[in-house]
Structure 1
Amino acid sequence: MIDITLLTQDDCGYCDHAKQVLANVAADYPIRVTEIDLASDEGRRLAEEAMVLFAPGLLVDGEPFGHGRISERKLRRTLTNLAEERTRS
């Protein structure tokens, strides 16, 4: 299972897009998504650590992936590489 953290805020079109990307990707990859409000204490802390400048922010297994408009192609590539690394280990 690959943990994905999604940092969101209210009334955020890019957040809605990121949720759709994650729903699409979940059909092909074993992911567990945790959504955290960027305005919460935990959300602000994670955003600062990951250098997320604006919502949505995405962390893959705790590592910064990106923010703003999330690329489904890039996310799939990252998840494929991560799954291959885990298989080799």
Structure 2
Amino acid sequence: MSTTEPADPPVVVTVVHAPACHFCHDAEEALAALAGDFPLVVRSVGIQTDEGRALVAEHRPAMNPLVLVDGEFFSAGRLPRKKLTKALHSRRVPAVGA
């Protein structure tokens, strides 16, 4: 009988995106790539949905997309990849395959 450590829950990244937003598209592509290295759940929420409007009202981003990490404001506008990677490492999220 082998024992395994319980897996850490994945980090939930929510992207509130607007139609025809190139920063939004860029963020979703970057997150898809990072999901290969970290256990992530990426949620894409349209800015015109009830949830999207509520998140924008709560966080008041200056630009799109609004990006939340585990429900907390992370960034608005172009996704800062290095900052996100550092944040994922600091949460002690093991890289996939590590």
Q: Does 1:71 align with 2:80?
A: yes
Deviation >6 Å, runs of 4+: none
Gaps of 5+ in 2: 1-9, 94-98
Count of aligned pairs between the two proteins = 84
TM-score, normalised relative to structure 2: 0.79
- 1:47 corresponds, among 56, 62, 70, to 56
**Percent identity between the aligned chains?**
33
Q: Which runs of 5+ in 1 are unaligned?
A: 85-89
* 1:81 CA drift (Å): 0.9
1:11 aligns to what SS in structure 2? coil
Normalised by the length of structure 1, the TM-score is 0.87
Instruction: Say which structure is richer in helix.
Output: 1
The alpha-carbon deviation at position 34 of structure 1 amounts to: 0.8
Mapped contact 1:56–1:68 kept (Cα < 8 A): yes
How far has the Cα of 1:83 moved from its partner?
Answer: 2.4
Counterpart of 1:18 (choices 21, 27, 32) is 27
Q: Which amino acid aligns with 1:45?
A: A
Q: RMSD of aligned C-alpha atoms?
A: 1.2
| Aligned residues of 1:5 and 1:58 also touching (Cα < 8 A) | yes
Q: Is residue 7 of structure 2 the alignment partner of residue 7 of structure 1?
A: no
Q: In terms of Rg, which structure is larger?
A: 2
